[in-house]
Amino acid sequence: MQDAIVYIKQSLAAIFLLALVGTSSYAQNADIGLLRDINLHRNESIKQEMVGVTNSVYPFTIAAPVAELVAGYAAHDKTVIMYGWQTVAALAVNTIFSTGLKYTVNRTRPYITYPDINEYLRENDPSFPSGHTSYSFCTATSLSICFPRWYVMAPAYTWAALAGYSRLYLGEHYPTDVLAGAVIGCGSAWLAYKGNKWLQQRKHKKQPAGK
């Protein structure tokens, strides 16, 4: 657990640094500049695909652990069941960090501050970090930890990266929001993995010899 505590401290420091950088005058100009390059010069022919990717995040985030748990319990496979609950834990950690930071930093959405941004949907919650990005990277990282195969990892991270890009394409977030979301998502999955590993080690230590 010591590694996890160190990682939390380092990650929080990095995320708050991103928040400070994103709201500083020079960095804000760079942030909105990159967003404008992506959003105002976007290829309109792929808009429906980008909307589809954005809208897939929460359903797939729910479906991933449900599928693991259903498959695990159906096959009486303790390892897959453990993976399912580990993914649930990762998403819970991600929710705590991403929601907490949203209302701590309380950054205004880019289309409110900069009316020229073409937004897809007017959302009422703060901008930093990107929740869609954090959940997609949390899910992708959880699946990659549980099933470390290229045919799982490659599509999972491609989908997560597209989800992050779609938030910029659709004008919903700044680049630093998306970057912070990716860090939080990956970190939450890693913390859940380390926490589960620690719990399993404690469980084995408590078992009587010969069990």
Query: At residue 211, does pLDDT exceed 90?
Result: no
| Residues 157/205, Cβ–Cβ less than 8 Å | no
Q: Give me the pLDDT at residue 163, please.
A: 97
Q: Which amino acid is at 168?
A: L
CATH for 2-203 is 1.10.606.20
Query: At residue 11, does pLDDT exceed 90?
Result: no
208 pLDDT band (50/70/90 cuts)?
low
| Residues 102/126, Cβ–Cβ less than 8 Å | yes
| Residues 130/55, Cβ–Cβ less than 8 Å | no
Q: What is the pLDDT of residues 143-168, one digit of tens each?
A: 999 999 999 999 999 999 999 999 99
pTM reported for the whole predicted model: 0.85
Q: What is the mean pLDDT of residues 108-128?
A: 92
Of residues 26 and 185, which shows the higher confidence score? 185
- Residue 138's nearest CA partner among 81, 82, 98 is 98
Q: What is the pLDDT of residues 30-57, one digit of tens each?
A: 889 999 999 999 999 999 999 999 999 9
Cα three-residue angle 29-35-39, rounded to 5 degrees = 145
Query: At residue 210, does pLDDT exceed 60?
Result: no
Q: What is the mean pLDDT of residues 97-112?
A: 93
Q: What is the mean pLDDT of residues 77-99?
A: 96
Q: Where are the domains of the chain?
A: 2-203
pLDDT mean across residues, the chain: 87
Length of the chain: 211
Q: What is the DSSP string of 197-211?
A: HHHHHHHHHHSPTT-
| Residues 147/207, Cβ–Cβ less than 8 Å | no
Which distant-in-sequence residues (6+ apart) come within 8 Å of 144 by Cβ? 152, 153, 156, 157
Q: What is the pLDDT of residues 123-149, one digit of tens each?
A: 889 999 999 999 999 999 999 999 999
CB atoms under 10 Å from CB of 209, counted, come to 4
DSSP 109: P
4 pLDDT band (50/70/90 cuts)?
very low
